[in-house]
Structure 1
C-alpha cells in the first residue's frame, strides 16, 4: 500500500497498519524513509509561519528563514533515534520483548502518521498566528502523536 493510504488507515486502526509494517521484515531504509516523510511534512508545515514572520518583519526574503528551519529539522534526526532507543530501554524495563528496530519503526510510523497534522499546525501558525487556536492545535497534535506512539510501541513490544 502507499504511505498515504496507510496514514489514513492508521487513524482508524493503528495496530493493524503497524502490524503490516512489522510483517515486512527488518529494513532500516524503510524505517528511515518514514522518518524522512515526517521531516518533509514538518518542514513544509513551517512555510506559512516563515512567510508570516517575513511579512510582519517587512522582509521580502523568506528563503533564509526556510533554510534555517530546514537545517533545524534535519538536526533533529539524532534526537529521534535517541528517543527510540530510550523508549526501547523503558519498554524492556516493563517486560517488553521488542527490538531496537521495532521501537524505531513505532516512533517513526507514529511521526509519519501525525505528519499531516503538522501541515494543519503550520497553516494555523501562518494564517492565524499565536493565540488560542494555535495552542489548541498544538495540544491536539501532541496528544495524537503520544496516543499513536504508545499504541504502536505496545504493539512493537509484544
Structure 2
C-alpha cells in the first residue's frame, strides 16, 4: 500500500496499519525514512506560522525557517530515537514483549501519520493567528498523534502487532 493510503487508513485503525508495516521485517532504513518524512512534514507545517510572524514583526523569514529546520529535521529525530527507546524500556517494566524496533516504528509512524493534522494546524495559525480555532486544531493534531503512538505502542508491547 502507498504511504498516503496508509496515512489515511491510520485515521481509521492505527494498529492495523502499524502491524502491516511491521510485517515487512526489521528495516532500519525504512524506519529512518518514515521519521525523516514525518519531521519534514512538521517543518513544512511551521511555514505559515513563521511567515505570519515574520510579516507582523518585520523580521527575516529565512532566519526563522533555518532555526525551524535545524530543530525539526536535525535535532527532533535524535530526540525521538531516545523517546522511542525510553518508551520501550517503560513498556518492558510493565511486562511488554515488544522490541526496540517496533517501539521506534510505532512512534515514527505516529509522527508521519499525524502530519496532515499538524499541517492543518499550521495553516490555521498562519491564516487566522492564535486563537480558539488554532487551539482546537492543535489539540486535535496532538490527540491524533498520541492516539496513533500510544495505541501502536500498546499493541507492540502486548505482542499484537
Q: TM-score, normalised to structure 1's length?
A: 0.95
Take 1:23 and 1:93, find their aligned partners in 2: how far apart are those partners? 25
> How far does the alpha carbon of each residue in 1:49-79 deviate from its partner, in whole angstroms, 9 at most, with x for none?
11101110234x4222111111111211111
3-state SS, counterpart of residue 88 of structure 1: helix
Contact 2:42 2:119 in 1 (8 A): yes
Distance across 1 between alignment mates of 2:152 and 2:81: 16
- Describe the SS at the equivalent of 1:76: helix
| Count, aligned residues | 157
Distance 1:153 1:89 in 2: 11
- Runs of 4 or more above 6 Å deviation: none
Structure 2 equivalent of residue 23 of structure 1: 23
Name the CA distance, whole Å, in 2 between partners of 1:139 and 1:119.
13
CA RMSD, aligned part only?
Answer: 1.1
What are the ranges of 5 or more consecutive residues in structure 2 without an aligned counterpart?
A: none
Note if contact 2:103-2:156 (Cα within 8 Å) is conserved in structure 1.
yes
Matched residue, 2:78: 78
Q: How does 1:5-24 map to 2 (within 5 A)?
A: 5-24=5-24
Aligned counterpart, 1:62: 61
Deviation at 1:45, TM superposition (A): 0.6
Which whole-Å CA distance do the structure 2 matches of 1:15 and 1:138 have between them?
A: 23
Quote how far apart the aligned CAs of 1:37 are. 1.2
Q: How far is the alpha carbon of 1:139 from its aligned partner? A: 1.2
Partner of 2:137: 137
Mapping for residues 1-158 of structure 1, pairs under 5 Å: 1-59=1-59, 61-73=60-72, 74-157=74-157, 158=159
In 2, Cα distance between equivalents of 1:69 and 1:14: 28
CA–CA distance in structure 2, aligned partners of residues 103 and 13 of structure 1: 17
Deviations 1:104-125 (A, max 9, x none): 0000011111011111111011
Gapped regions of structure 1 (runs ≥ 5): none
